[in-house]
Amino acid sequence: MNYHRYLCVIFSGRNNLLWIEPINGSVDYTYHNDVNAHYSLIDHFLCSPNLVTVSKSAHILVDGDNPSDHWATYCDFCCPKLASRHPSCPNTMLKPQRDKANTDSYTELLSGLLSRICLPIDALTCNGSKCCDHTAVLDAYYNDVITCMYRAGLNTVPHAKVGIQKHWWTPELDDLKQQCIDATEMWKSAGRPRSGELNNIRIRCKFKYKSAIKEAAASAETAFNDNSTTICVAKTMTVSGEHGAKNLYEFREAYWCY
């Protein structure tokens, strides 16, 4: 047992924690700098001892589509008493992508659902000027309409996990990702060599993939900033006319304000 590992065990024990170790046969590093040939196990799980059955239960995921210099890790925990989500806390994990919705299907489904709810006829035909007898019925009707819209949306509007979707992602990035996965699988089946042609191919693929992701993200940000500048300048012009713009034509040319 090396000294650092010894300290980790002492630390966990004194704090009533369990230091989870990688499963047998796993790679022995999570951080990998392929350029400097530096490999170390620096990503860990610590948990209460009653949450796992065996201490060697961390999985290090050697996946080709992971452009990071850390492998992802996961561990299964047994949490029978974990409190369920509080009712007032909305499910923020899924977000509707309304721009990708099938509006025809939505309309059709919604019409069908709405046709089944009862109209509050008494309330609609009431002539009482300050009648308050229909509040409950109208509230129920309102809730029924909202429920129909919600159900129609669940079935016809795609939902994405928040934080997962990248609007600037392209099919080219998918290709590069696949190349990375393939190269990593080849490298894994050859015993994960730290040098040689298979390792070089894997590193090259990964570098290309990582650079392409950075480039796509950066140009998306530039496009966003350019657009913001245009809106900002257009707004200034609305307020102050052409003051400050030396040559309107040049100005439009520069900011694409047409």
| Shortest Cβ 142–Zn ion spacing (Å) | 17
In this structure, the number of other CB atoms found within 10 A of the CB of residue 32 comes to 18
Shorter beta-carbon distance to Zn ion: residue 87 or 128: 128
Token code pair at residue 142: 């309102």
The residue type at 7: L
| Shortest Cβ 127–Zn ion spacing (Å) | 8
| Shortest Cβ 146–Zn ion spacing (Å) | 23
Three-state SS for 78? coil
Shorter beta-carbon distance to Zn ion: residue 126 or 162: 126
Shorter beta-carbon distance to Zn ion: residue 133 or 172: 133
What contacts 24+ positions apart, CB below 8 Å, involve 39-44? Answer: 39/194, 42/70, 43/70, 43/71, 43/73, 44/8, 44/19, 44/20
| Shortest Cβ 148–Zn ion spacing (Å) | 25
Helices (H) then strands (E): counts for the chain: 7, 8
Shorter beta-carbon distance to Zn ion: residue 128 or 171: 128
Contacts with Zn ion, residue ranges (CB under 5 A): 126, 128, 131, 133
